[in-house]
Amino acid sequence: MLTEQESKEMLALLHREVVPAIGCTEPMAVALCVARATELLGERPARIRLSLSGNILKNAMGVGIPGTGGMIGLPIAVAMGAIGGKSCLGLEVLRDCTPADLEAAKRYMSEDRIDIKLEQQDPDKLYIHATVTAQDGRQQEACIKGEHTHFMDSAPALPKGRERSPLKNEGTIICQDDSVSLAPQSSTDKQDGEVVLSLSQVFEFATTMPLDDLRFILEAKRLNEAAAADGLRENYGHQLGKTLCSPLGKGIMGDSIFSQVLSETSCACDARMAGAKIPVMSNSGSGNQGICATMPVVVFARENHNTEEELIRALTLSHLTAIYIKQSLGTLSALCGCVVASTGSSCGITYLMGGSYEQVAHSVKNMIANLTGMICDGAKPSCALKLTTGVSTAVMSAMLAIQHKYVTAAEGIIEDDVDRSIHNLTSIGSRGMDETDRFVLDIMTHKGS
């Protein structure tokens, strides 16, 4: 049984990891870092130098940037962060950028002021170091490491002959916002107040906490439903969501709960990956994971006529399961995040079907047996395809689990203990696929050569 302190820590964890974001979180984190360094400099930089981890580069190369009219990639995100970004907005850093800011950012890009390199020293998979230089040679730095909004108090030494400017503006508070953490932290450190989870704890929390404490999770429903509606209204990306609910899609897939789950989830992803300037509710630093942990549960609950309480508890179960898996996987990895988030949504759907903890655990084992090994090859419009694969597996796994059908310990990486099965998954994703991650990045950065 959960203690009062554990419940308090888990609620704080849920609030911290389920937050709004505009645009793909990797380029937005880079824009955030640049915005922060620019604010410290006090003027538009003459030059911007960035050192980024491979996973940041991978996830920012091919994705649309919000408010840019469909432009993709890091340079425009960097320029927008310097010209119109506000670090106080966290992962919504570009929310207030104007058309004039966009035109200025385009000019800035054309003037060859941005230098982006792969970080060679720091091993963290989420690492962003920005150095901005004024016309008179003054410099400021900002460094994000471990999580998308975690600013470090220090950064690596500059090359010999260069002086480091202090990270803090003396006597001036540049940003004061709960969504942006300024505390130094390694990605492997346990945050203060963060409980180490198990699936049974997650289930108990989601199904027994006072409803009013969990009601905030409905904001995920509101934001991500709006993103799905935008994806259906416009022609974003590969238009997977629109295709699935078109006459062709309905002719092949039918007009079922299953097809609705797939189409609405992929509509939201279509919009986000194309750079629609709309907020989505993220999970563990990923908007796609937030969509994937939300929309299948929301659509199933609506079509299955579940109560609001059942929906709130199912969404809590889905999001917190994803957070639990990410605790040992890491914020960024070689494993596609939809594997994690769709496992959460499978738990939520199983619960909405009337499932017990045992059946929820069965659904997790079914998911791990099926999706382990799906690579992440960067954020891009085709992520909608992977999300839809994950979500279709989530529904199938829940259908089996509710009938007490599941993959057993005699098969593959599954163990009798569901938590050990989860850690087998995360070990493969965080350590076993490291070479895969490097190989994928090498392919992405040398295409056509």
Q: Return left, alpha or beta for 192; rule: phi > 0 is left, psi -120 to 50 is alpha, else beta.
A: beta
Cα torsion angle, 100, 104, 109, 115, sign: negative
pLDDT band for 73, please (50, 70, 90 cuts).
Answer: confident
Write the burial class of residue 89 (CB in 10 Å: 0-12 exposed, 13-18 middle, 19+ buried). buried
Distance CA(265)–CA(267), nearest Å, equals: 5
102 and 219 both lie in a single domain: no
Distance CA(108)–CA(89), nearest Å, equals: 23
pLDDT at res. 177: 37
Query: Mean pLDDT, the chain, as a whole number?
Result: 89
120 and 205 both lie in a single domain: no
Region of poorest pLDDT, from 24-38, 58-72, 201-215, 407-421: 58-72
Q: Closest by alpha carbon to 23, among 100, 115, 102, 92?
A: 92
337 and 205 both lie in a single domain: yes
14, part of any domain: no
The CB-side HSE value for 448 (13 A sphere, CA atoms) comes to 1
Q: Closest by alpha carbon to 427, among 416, 439, 415?
A: 415
206 and 348 both lie in a single domain: yes
CB 266 within 8 A of CB 317: no
Q: What is the mean pLDDT of residues 288-308?
A: 97
pLDDT at res. 175: 40
108 and 242 both lie in a single domain: no
15, part of any domain: no
Domains in the chain, number: 2
What is the number of other CB atoms lying within 10 angstroms of the CB of residue 246? 13
Q: Could you read off the pLDDT of 237-276 as tens digits, one per residue?
A: 999 999 999 999 999 999 999 999 999 999 999 999 988 8
188, part of any domain: no
Q: Which residues contact 5 (CB under 8 A, 6 or more apart)?
A: none
184, part of any domain: no
Distance CA(96)–CA(90), nearest Å, equals: 12
pLDDT at 227 over 60: yes
209 and 125 both lie in a single domain: no
Looking up tokens 């990306």 gives 237
117 and 256 both lie in a single domain: no
Q: What is the CATH number of the domain that holds 72?
A: 3.30.1330
pLDDT at 189 over 90: no
Q: What does the angle CA 19 – CA 21 – CA 27 come to, to the nearest 5 degrees? A: 130
Distance CA(330)–CA(322), nearest Å, equals: 11
Q: What does the angle CA 71 – CA 89 – CA 330 come to, to the nearest 5 degrees? A: 80
124 and 206 both lie in a single domain: no
Q: Which residues contact 248 (CB under 8 A, 6 or more apart)?
A: none
Q: Closest by alpha carbon to 262, among 106, 166, 390?
A: 390
Q: 160 versus 65: which is more confidently predicted?
A: 65
Q: What is the CATH number of the domain that holds 299?
A: 1.10.4100.10
The CB-side HSE value for 359 (13 A sphere, CA atoms) comes to 17
285 and 415 both lie in a single domain: yes
Distance CA(78)–CA(63), nearest Å, equals: 13
6, part of any domain: no
pLDDT at 179 over 50: no
131 and 259 both lie in a single domain: no
CB 96 within 8 A of CB 86: yes
R_g of the chain, CA atoms, integer Å: 21
152, part of any domain: no
DSSP reduced 3-state for 107: helix
Looking up tokens 């941005």 gives 114
307, part of any domain: yes
Burial 424-440 (b: 16+ CB within 10 A, else e): bbbebbbebbeebbeeb
Backbone angles phi, psi at 26, to 5 degrees: -70, -55
How much of the chain exceeds pLDDT 70, in percent?
90
370 and 305 both lie in a single domain: yes
40, part of any domain: yes
Domain-ending residue, one of 101, 126, 145: 145
Distance CA(311)–CA(301), nearest Å, equals: 6
In this structure, the chain runs to a length of 449
89 and 228 both lie in a single domain: no
State the residue range of the domain holding 98.
20-145
Domain-ending residue, one of 116, 145, 174: 145
CB 345 within 8 A of CB 234: no
DSSP reduced 3-state for 240: helix
Q: Please give the structure tokens belonging to residue 304.
A: 């299955």
Q: Could you read off the pLDDT of 360-419 as tens digits, one per residue?
A: 999 999 999 999 999 999 889 999 999 999 999 999 999 999 999 999 999 999 999 999
